[in-house]
Amino acid sequence: MRKTIFFTFLVGLILFSCEKPENETQISKNGQSRSHYTGRNCVTCHYTEGSGEGWFTVAGSIGGNYHDGKVVLYPNGFENPPIKEIEIDDLGNIFTTEDVDFSVGMNVAIVNSNGDSLKMPQELHVGQCNLCHGKTQNLLEMY
């Protein structure tokens, strides 16, 4: 009897500890200001085992004249049609839990409300903007 109870407890513990929460949809929008920690690497918390709500595939911070702007992702070069546009919120943050396949390599442009754009010269294979910007490179600034 004790072995059965212990075994049942052990199986329940293993099943419960392996169960992962659902990915909560989170997408930044112009005019919103519910994000936080501008300039930090969002994916430090927003990943499958992290404490943040939603698992971000693309996230980062923009400085300067970003009001009503967006970040645009182009697969394999700027000559191809964009596959994703992510609006910049009022705190300068962008984030999405939507699937983005970085294995093909993404080119990134920041576009402000005037239509001015800032293009990153190199192709990216990860969507964690503040992994580099604000650490080994300057924060992204739109003028």
pLDDT at 86: 98
| Residues constituting the chain | 143
Two structure tokens written together for 118? 């800032």
Query: The tokens 């396949």 sit on which residue?
Result: 101
Strands 140-142 and 58-64: what pairing?
parallel
What letter does residue 27 receive in the DSSP assignment? B
Per-residue pLDDT band for 132 (boundaries 50, 70, 90) equals: confident
What's the pTM? Answer: 0.81
Element (H, E) at 74: strand 70-75
CA distances from 21 to 30, 43, 57, 97, 134 (A): 28, 16, 16, 14, 30
Q: Are 67 and 98 in contact (CB under 8 A)?
A: no
pLDDT at 74: 97
Q: Is the pLDDT of residue 12 over 50?
A: no
Per-residue pLDDT, averaged over 10-20, amounts to 47
Contacts of 56 (CB under 8 A, 6+ apart): 26, 42, 43, 46, 47, 95, 96, 97, 127
pLDDT at 1: 55
Q: Is the pLDDT of residue 92 over 90?
A: yes
**pLDDT digit string (tens) for 95-105?**
999 999 999 99
pLDDT at 7: 47
Per-residue pLDDT, averaged over 76-98, amounts to 96
